[in-house]
């Protein structure tokens, strides 16, 4: 595919080739006829058409081929230089089959055009030698275009590989930091929790009322420890523990019911295989959303909807909690993490209070080109 604008370099090449063809045509030996003016026009048009070879390589291939046959028929024995440039450009753009077909037609049409104009009637041996030379030049132009196309493709693959490697190393480093931070926090919170529980136990043993602040510290320590254990399970979700995906979403919904939330799951569309990254992200979105509902929403009901579409996977989690547009909480770490996961896959996530009360999290994940 070419760019939408003709570059200065392409224009210069086109003008240069047109000038060479015109000079060659003017210096050639041929009798003056009424076809001279059309012949010169075809020479110039074939060269100038090369200005658009990046934008429309197949069209330029056709135009230069027609011009080459035309100026031969007009009596101008000028090499099809413009067509060779067009062959190079078309093959470089990946149009190999079209180029081969067009070149076969050219090799058949050029001798016929030359004979029609009275050129090259010097014998069969000369015609064969000329045909072999034209074929050799066409093969050389096509080979040059294919070689550059392959080089550009390898360069693009190398660049993409470098980007993927850098992204993977960054992810591994973030995971390492998260694990180190988790281990450190787990130790400190465990110490705080144990000390708070010991203090409460001693107070109760002495028949005293434990201070409310101490009880709050104990409960906060227990909750933090539970959250950190859940985080550790996610961080250590490696090959030894297969990653969870859409197949495990019903388990999440059932777990939410067990915890007292009336959760319902709806699956729409035709079930199809989705990329592994989308599969994992969909599970995490449902998991985080239901966790937030259970902890913060004070909701009685939750609805999980998974919609399989031809080019996208839609996940929607709603609840009927106390959140309203006026009391919407600030986005927490869980919601920010969901946004990052979805954005990394090229998707879109919205999270906002429902007009009738409660909260909605909706994510749309593309499934067409991911792996």
CA separation for the pair 46, 67 (Å, rounded): 5
Q: Contact at 8 Å (CB) between 28 and 80?
A: no
Long-range contacts of 122-131 (CB under 8 A, 24+ apart): 131/107
Residue 131 above 70 pLDDT?
no
- Kindly indicate the confidence band of residue 308, based on its pLDDT and cuts at 50, 70 and 90: very high
Q: What angle do CA 65, 67, 70 make, to 5 degrees?
A: 110
E strand map for 44-117: none
CA separation for the pair 83, 47 (Å, rounded): 9
- pLDDT score for 249: 92
**Helix (H) or strand (E) segment spanning residue 111:** helix 96-116
Residues of the chain with pLDDT > 70, as a percent, come to: 77
Question: For the sheet containing 262-268, what is the strand order?
Answer: 262-268, 301-308, 312-319, 359-366, 348-353
Please give the full DSSP string across 18-69, using - where no structure is assigned: HHHHHHHHHHS-----TTHHHHHHHHHHHHHGGGGTTT-HHHHHHHHHHHHH
Residues 81-102: pLDDT tens digits?
A: 888 888 888 888 888 888 888 8
Residues 252-282: pLDDT tens digits?
A: 899 888 878 899 999 998 888 888 888 888 9
- pLDDT score for 122: 47
Pairing mode, strands 262-268 and 301-308: parallel
- pLDDT score for 183: 61
- Kindly indicate the confidence band of residue 1, based on its pLDDT and cuts at 50, 70 and 90: very low
Candidate from 89-98, 157-166, 246-255 with smallest mean pLDDT = 157-166
Higher pLDDT, 184 or 349: 349
Residue 303 above 90 pLDDT?
yes
Residues 311-360: pLDDT tens digits?
A: 899 999 999 888 776 665 666 656 777 888 888 888 899 988 888 888 89
- pLDDT score for 316: 95
Residues 207-233: pLDDT tens digits?
A: 877 777 777 777 777 767 666 666 665
CA separation for the pair 251, 254 (Å, rounded): 5
**Three-class SS of 53-66:** CCCCHHHHHHHHHH
Phi and psi angles of residue 309, each rounded to the nearest 5 degrees, phi first: -115, 165
For the chain, what is the mean pLDDT?
A: 78
Q: Contact at 8 Å (CB) between 89 and 60?
A: yes
Please tell me whether residue 264 adopts helix, strand or coil conformation: strand
- Kindly indicate the confidence band of residue 128, based on its pLDDT and cuts at 50, 70 and 90: low
């Amino acid at each position: 595919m070419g760019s939408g604008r003709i570059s200065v370099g392409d224009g210069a090449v086109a003008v240069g080739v047109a000038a060479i063809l015109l000079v060659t045509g003017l210096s050639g030996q041929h009798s003056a006829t009424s076809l001279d003016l059309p012949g010169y026009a075809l020479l110039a048009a074939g060269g100038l058409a090369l200005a658009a070879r990046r934008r429309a390589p197949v069209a330029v291939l056709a135009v230069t081929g027609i011009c080459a046959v035309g100026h031969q028929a007009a009596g101008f024995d000028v090499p099809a230089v413009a067509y060779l440039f067009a062959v190079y450009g078309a093959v470089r753009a990946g149009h190999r089959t079209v180029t081969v077909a067009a070149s076969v037609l050219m090799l058949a049409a050029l001798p016929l055009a030359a004979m029609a104009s009275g050129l090259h009637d010097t014998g069969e041996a000369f015609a064969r030698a000329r045909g072999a030379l034209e074929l050799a030049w066409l093969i050389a132009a096509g080979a040059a275009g294919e070689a550059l196309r392959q080089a550009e493709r390898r360069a693009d693959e190398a660049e993409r590989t470098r980007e993927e490697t850098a992204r993977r190393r960054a992810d591994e480093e973030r995971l390492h930091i998260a694990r180190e931070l988790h281990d450190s926090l787990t130790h400190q919170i465990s110490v705080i929790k144990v000390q708070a529980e010991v203090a409460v136990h001693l107070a109760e043993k002495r028949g005293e009322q434990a201070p409310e602040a101490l009880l709050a510290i104990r409960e906060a320590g227990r909750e933090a420890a539970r959250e950190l254990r859940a985080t550790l399970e996610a961080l250590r979700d490696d090959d030894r523990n297969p990653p969870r995906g859409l197949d495990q979403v019903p388990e999440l919904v059932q777990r939410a019911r067990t915890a007292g939330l009336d959760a319902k799951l709806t699956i729409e569309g035709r079930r199809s295989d989705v990329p592994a990254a989308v599969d994992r992200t969909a599970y995490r979105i449902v998991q985080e959303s239901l966790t937030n509902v259970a902890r913060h929403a004070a909701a009685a009901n939750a609805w999980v909807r998974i919609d399989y579409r031809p080019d996208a996977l839609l996940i929607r989690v709603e609840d009927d909690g106390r959140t309203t547009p006026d009391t919407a909480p600030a986005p927490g770490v869980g919601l920010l993490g969901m946004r990052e996961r979805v954005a990394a896959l090229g998707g879109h996530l919205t999270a906002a209070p429902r007009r009738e009360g409660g909260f909605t999290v909706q994510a749309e994940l593309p499934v067409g080109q991911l792996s």
